A and B are shown apart, each in its own frame.
Chain A
């Protein structure tokens, strides 16, 4: 059973493979970091010599280890799913050109987030948009809530916390996130008002957040 993004199956969409972006396939100007360059990075150099300081063997490891965090991070910054995919690719393309100077994991994470943030901003500029909230504040929250990894710890902690939910809170979360139901549908099923559902979900997320934070803090002590 194969599941792959639509655009890859087509081979002509925006999120085509990086092989294409790197020159194996059709030219994709939008994927290049830059006519205008990503913030903090030099614009496209000419001639296009790829400064592959990063040993190619280490690259898959770097991508495999950090791509999920970068994807989550750029979504947190405000990117939609498709935009997040693009930004992740742009981020690692930029890393190909300017690899991190140190290999300490925490520093690499910070470096990658900086690149990703710049790639995200470049992506916004192309569509004449601006970030919808303070990205410095977002970075601060991210760093606080992801002290050791890119989100796997939170997901694992959330698993335990979800098991502690019951009653209408559990129902509401299941309907909203597992079943993808609209607020109106949830309200009808739980015999509540839509505002009530909104409040219930907000409160439940708050409870889950506190539970997750407790578990992460406990694991770090």
Chain B
């Protein structure tokens, strides 16, 4: 043993001693189990063995009978399944872009061409070296295979991938071991729990040790979590997150609900636009994680309003005792110069950490097998540890886990300094394994929250999962009903999504909406900091619920309008005054922004012509914009409507629109109405506020990613320039990060390469 090896081992020993002394690493206790094992007699062991053999034989016979039946008479359903699989297979052969407009995405060129761009310099050499060691193909050349624009993006159970295909095993966690993102300690040594899990999932594809990279490896073979292949800014690359890789593991099945962009509606026939607010920010995190992994996010994963609402805006706080204030601005639309852009901003009342009410929190943690990767359960542990460090003796914490069954691993415990160590130990002990019976866990979590209900406090279940509920109550509607029912008791739900590859975005958004909570997606440590530290009050404290907005447009000044984003938040106009109709909730300090693109009456004819060419005609036949548009034959039994008659207010007030907002107190049943009229002073986009311009650039970015037909002539270059010029204070660096993200996306596209060339 040389001296350096000795020093490394001694340092390792001290590191682990410190972890045990000060941290959450504690020796296990196996005494009870072993005592139970000891008295087993040989006779008893024999009898058990025979019993098991008998059971196994019965199972084998049953399976054989079923198999024979299947062989002799295949059911129609099975044949249909097989035919569907064949159709999918033929679709696969035609290529991933054959069925949609993906070939035109972003720059009008097939992404297969896009990926020829060189790897950007941001990636460290160790990552690249490790990737090369772990796989034979260029990761960038695989991007085309990752893009999926479907409700069920890529169901690997029907994707005909041969086990011999080179794509099999690309989702090799051995390669992900490059970084050890999920190590829950910044300094010191990567937890071997993490590295071990990676290699297990890697099925030995990489030679042992190949995943450790080389450049920064600690001499002794164990490594610093943020040394090896770890991009200091963002963590390791995760190129193959939602790739349909392994039909056996089910990896590669992220699910996003398809959305159709809101269309322009004529103000004369559709004067009211009604929607529920959305404070979720998950979509931005998903987009960010994809782009930083050199993948284009599926358009279905891009919800423009969540991108815009990810950022804080400097709206003045409410001064009239209301829980929030409403602000409206109008300026020229940056992507279609003759149109106007309206920004409606809500600012929730801020509550200082010291003033926040007591919290009664139940962490509901998915510990099923799919939570094993580094960016799931290890990140959950890290997040919860961070959250616990922000809590104090006013608060209570319980932990419920669920997998094949559910259980309480920590009874509701006051968060005193003395108890924090036990809470941390319970969090650190969370381990994954098994299938996912989410509903049973939710039931138990709500029960515990209700048992320790704090009147006037923040009673909340915090669900941490990848959303893969595959046992028990698994359909969206049942879970929706369950959480909606429990929310009535005053216990709200926050859904936090983790990881990719099995992520059920749709499920999480649905249950968060119905549970009077928010949905966030945590892709790395920075998101942990944002949600659990900087925005702790907003995450925990709901200041108003069922917040709905209805905008009435003045037909004298508005020819047509389009709500940007909020596609799955649209309400019928009658719902606005219906207090039984559930809507979004707003947390302390939250800002919510909604953007409308407006076509002035003078531009309406041209807009109709332009939109007709894109088959996105301006609709004038109803409040909901879910039809196909097109002309309508003259009615045989009715005369055409009378000419529109404007009110005096429409003619003389000069108001462009009237924003009406309804909200309820967190424990209230009756809504309060706020009305805010807004005029258009004719401001140019250049004259708009910095926040306005930044929000517009984020919306444009979202529309580009969605390949929206309404994105006009905006380019990524313009988005980058506008955003970069309007960073504002940007104390937390989020806006700068956005600019880098746009830049990175440009680097992946022909647009970016053209600019460099």
Q: Which residues from chain A sit less than 8 Å from chain B, CB to CB?
A: 1-7, 9-15, 17-24, 27, 47-50, 52, 54, 56, 59-60, 63-64, 67-68, 71-72, 75-76, 78-85, 88-89, 92-93, 96, 127-130, 132-134, 137-138, 140-142, 145, 151, 154-155, 158-159, 162, 173-174, 176-186, 194, 197-198, 201-202, 205-206, 208-209, 212
Instruction: Flag whether B608 is at the interface (Cβ < 8 A).
Output: no
State how many angstroms separate the Cβ of A146 from the closest Cβ of chain B: 9
Verify A5–B196 contact, CB threshold 8 A: no
Interface string of B202-232 (1 = CB under 8 A from A): 0110001100000000001110101000001
* Chain A hits for B196, CB < 8 A: 79-80, 82-83, 127, 129
A1-B422, A22-B37, A96-B38 known; 17 new pairs, CB 8 Å cut-off, are: A2-B408, A3-B429, A5-B431, A10-B401, A10-B406, A13-B434, A22-B36, A23-B45, A48-B46, A72-B27, A127-B200, A130-B208, A155-B21, A173-B18, A179-B389, A180-B184, A180-B424
Verify B25–A81 contact, CB threshold 8 A: yes
Q: Which of B9, B401, B408, B422 contacts A141 (CB 8 A)?
A: B9
Task: Give the distance in Å from the alpha carbon of A79 to the alpha carbon of B221 in the complex.
Answer: 13
Instruction: Flag whether B49 is at the interface (Cβ < 8 A).
Output: yes
Q: Among the listed stretches B76-84, B185-193, B306-314, B580-588, which one makes contact with chain A, having 4 or more residues with CB under 8 Å of it?
A: B185-193
Q: Among the listed stretches B273-281, B409-417, B547-555, B716-724, which one makes contact with chain A, having 4 or more residues with CB under 8 Å of it?
A: B409-417
* Chain B hits for A71, CB < 8 A: 27-28
Instruction: Flag whether B250 is at the interface (Cβ < 8 A).
Output: no
State how many angstroms separate the Cβ of A128 from the closest Cβ of chain B: 4
Verify A6–B48 contact, CB threshold 8 A: no
Verify B411–A1 contact, CB threshold 8 A: yes
Verify A155–B17 contact, CB threshold 8 A: yes
* Chain A hits for B11, CB < 8 A: 202, 205-206, 209
Q: How many A-B contacts at CB < 8 Å in the complex?
A: 285
Verify A63–B28 contact, CB threshold 8 A: no
Verify A21–B37 contact, CB threshold 8 A: yes
Task: Give the distance in Å from the alpha carbon of A71 to the alpha carbon of B232 in the complex.
Answer: 32
* Chain A hits for B13, CB < 8 A: 76, 141-142, 145, 209
Nearest opposing residue in chain A for B217, CB measure: A132
* Chain B hits for A82, CB < 8 A: 193, 196, 431
State how many angstroms separate the Cβ of A54 from the closest Cβ of chain B: 8
Contacts A10-B434, A71-B27 given; indicate if A1 touches B419 (C-beta within 8 A): yes
- Which 3 A-B residue pairings sit nearest by Cβ, starting from the closest? A80-B193, A18-B33, A182-B186
Verify B192–A10 contact, CB threshold 8 A: no
Identify 10 residue pairs between A and B in the complex whose beta-carbon atoms are under 8 Å apart, listed by A's number: A6-B429, A23-B40, A80-B196, A89-B28, A130-B209, A133-B9, A141-B9, A158-B17, A180-B382, A184-B232
Interface string of B5-17 (1 = CB under 8 A from A): 1101111111111
Among B17, B197, B422, which residue has the most Cβ atoms of chain A within 10 A?
Answer: B17
Verify A208–B433 contact, CB threshold 8 A: no
Interface residues in B, total, Cβ within 8 A: 96
Task: Give the distance in Å from the alpha carbon of A111 to the alpha carbon of B549 in the complex.
Answer: 72
Verify B16–A72 contact, CB threshold 8 A: yes
* Chain A hits for B16, CB < 8 A: 72, 75-76
* Chain A hits for B187, CB < 8 A: 176, 182-183, 186, 197-198, 201
Instruction: Flag whether B30 is at the interface (Cβ < 8 A).
Output: yes
* Chain B hits for A198, CB < 8 A: 187, 224
Instruction: Flag whether B34 is at the interface (Cβ < 8 A).
Output: yes
Verify B5–A3 contact, CB threshold 8 A: no
Task: Give the distance in Å from the alpha carbon of A79 to the alpha carbon of B192 in the complex.
Answer: 6
Verify B405–A56 contact, CB threshold 8 A: no
Verify A3–B434 contact, CB threshold 8 A: no
Q: Which of B5, B22, B33, B35 contacts A133 (CB 8 A)?
A: B5
Task: Give the distance in Å from the alpha carbon of A134 to the alpha carbon of B385 in the complex.
Answer: 33
Instruction: Flag whether B470 is at the interface (Cβ < 8 A).
Output: no
Verify A80–B195 contact, CB threshold 8 A: yes
* Chain B hits for A19, CB < 8 A: 33, 36-37
Task: Give the distance in Å from the alpha carbon of A93 to the alpha carbon of B182 in the complex.
Answer: 31
Task: Give the distance in Å from the alpha carbon of A196 to the alpha carbon of B331 in the complex.
Answer: 49
* Chain B hits for A76, CB < 8 A: 12-13, 16
Instruction: Flag whether B518 is at the interface (Cβ < 8 A).
Output: no
Chain A interface mostly: helix
Instruction: Flag whether B31 is at the interface (Cβ < 8 A).
Output: yes
Instruction: Flag whether B636 is at the interface (Cβ < 8 A).
Output: no
Task: Give the distance in Å from the alpha carbon of A4 to the alpha carbon of B403 in the complex.
Answer: 16
Nearest opposing residue in chain A for B35, CB measure: A60
Q: Which of A92, A129, A145, A158 contacts B199 (CB 8 A)?
A: A129
State how many angstroms separate the Cβ of B426 from the closest Cβ of chain A: 5
Q: Which of A9, A75, A177 contacts B23 (CB 8 A)?
A: A177
* Chain B hits for A84, CB < 8 A: 28
State how many angstroms separate the Cβ of A207 from the closest Cβ of chain B: 10
State how many angstroms separate the Cβ of B491 from the closest Cβ of chain A: 21
Task: Give the distance in Å from the alpha carbon of A181 to the alpha carbon of B389 in the complex.
Answer: 10
State how many angstroms separate the Cβ of B316 from the closest Cβ of chain A: 30
Verify A134–B5 contact, CB threshold 8 A: yes
Task: Give the distance in Å from the alpha carbon of A154 to the alpha carbon of B39 in the complex.
Answer: 35
Among B8, B12, B413, which residue has the most Cβ atoms of chain A within 10 A?
Answer: B12
Task: Give the distance in Å from the alpha carbon of A13 to the alpha carbon of B389 in the complex.
Answer: 28
Contacts A79-B192, A84-B28, A176-B187 given; indicate if A9 touches B14 (C-beta within 8 A): no
Q: Which of A9, A11, A78, A81 contacts B428 (CB 8 A)?
A: A81
Task: Give the distance in Å from the alpha carbon of A27 to the alpha carbon of B49 in the complex.
Answer: 10
Verify B191–A80 contact, CB threshold 8 A: yes
Instruction: Flag whether B393 is at the interface (Cβ < 8 A).
Output: no
Verify B409–A17 contact, CB threshold 8 A: no
Contacts A141-B6, A173-B18 given; indicate if A64 touches B192 (C-beta within 8 A): no
* Chain B hits for A63, CB < 8 A: 30-31, 34-35
Task: Give the distance in Å from the alpha carbon of A156 to the alpha carbon of B184 in the complex.
Answer: 25
State how many angstroms separate the Cβ of B530 from the closest Cβ of chain A: 14
Task: Give the distance in Å from the alpha carbon of A72 to the alpha carbon of B407 in the complex.
Answer: 28
Verify A133–B220 contact, CB threshold 8 A: yes
Interface string of B373-405 (1 = CB under 8 A from A): 000000000100110010000000000011111
Verify B411–A83 contact, CB threshold 8 A: no
Verify A72–B20 contact, CB threshold 8 A: yes
State how many angstroms separate the Cβ of B50 from the closest Cβ of chain A: 10
Verify A132–B221 contact, CB threshold 8 A: yes
Q: Which of B5, B42, B186, B197 contacts A184 (CB 8 A)?
A: B186
Verify B28–A5 contact, CB threshold 8 A: yes
Contacts A79-B192, A197-B187 given; indicate if A14 touches B433 (C-beta within 8 A): yes
Contacts A19-B37, A56-B38, A141-B10 given; indicate if A83 touches B193 (C-beta within 8 A): yes
* Chain B hits for A89, CB < 8 A: 28, 30, 33-34
Task: Give the distance in Å from the alpha carbon of A106 to the alpha carbon of B654 in the complex.
Answer: 92
Verify A158–B21 contact, CB threshold 8 A: yes
Instruction: Flag whether B124 is at the interface (Cβ < 8 A).
Output: no
Contacts A9-B401, A27-B52, A71-B27 given; indicate if A134 touches B1 (C-beta within 8 A): yes
* Chain A hits for B208, CB < 8 A: 128-130
Verify B46–A47 contact, CB threshold 8 A: yes
Contacts A130-B209, A141-B13, A158-B17 given; indicate if A10 touches B404 (C-beta within 8 A): yes
Q: Which of A12, A52, A67, A182 contacts B30 (CB 8 A)?
A: A67
Verify A178–B22 contact, CB threshold 8 A: yes
Verify A180–B31 contact, CB threshold 8 A: no
* Chain A hits for B188, CB < 8 A: 176, 201
* Chain B hits for A179, CB < 8 A: 389
Among A10, A159, A178, which residue has the most Cβ atoms of chain B within 10 A?
Answer: A10
Quick one: which of B560-578 are within 8 Å of A by CB?
none
* Chain B hits for A7, CB < 8 A: 367, 431, 433
Nearest opposing residue in chain A for B43, CB measure: A49
